[in-house]
Amino acid sequence: MLAEAQRRGIAIDLQHVGLQELSFVDRFDAVMTIDAMENIAPEDWPLVLANLHRALRPGGHLYLTVEEHHDADFSALHQALVARGLPAVPGEVIDGDVAGYHYCPSREQVIEWIAAARLSLIDEAYHQEDGWGYRHLLLRAAGRRP
């Protein structure tokens, strides 16, 4: 996809890096992560949010989606992973139709991580599907970082 974007001339700078490795500083007015955060393990969420915040210019905006499922689904999935001897935490999914690793934190956990990253929640919406949904969050970067 990066090669195609470059071939078409629709991007100035193309880089293929993980959210954990982002090194941009005050580079963007806005950043979007769509269908990405569910691929981030819980221990990496604070790092990723800090990286996204650092990439934004002061007062810049971050839009992200967070996948959510009903608790009952995750309880059974978590118990099955633990029974297989895997070091899973509640909310992690590696089997089924998720096409790889997924982690779906609670809204409360996400809000806690957002506050710790010095991002302000500007707006929020939730779109419910059959048994799952997406939380849409619009955040604003704090002023100058210490």
Walk along the chain (146 residues) and give the pLDDT tens digit of each residue: 777 888 888 877 778 889 999 999 999 999 999 989 988 989 999 999 999 999 999 999 999 999 887 665 667 777 887 888 887 777 777 766 655 677 888 899 999 999 999 999 999 999 988 777 889 999 999 875 54
Are 109 and 131 in contact by the 8 Å Cβ rule? The answer is no
Helix segments in 1-146, DSSP class H: 2-8, 45-55, 71-83, 107-116
Q: What is the pLDDT of residue 99?
A: 57
| Domains contained in the chain, CATH given | 31-141 (3.40.50.150)
Outline where DSSP puts E strands in 39-131.
Answer: 56-69, 92-93, 102-103, 119-128
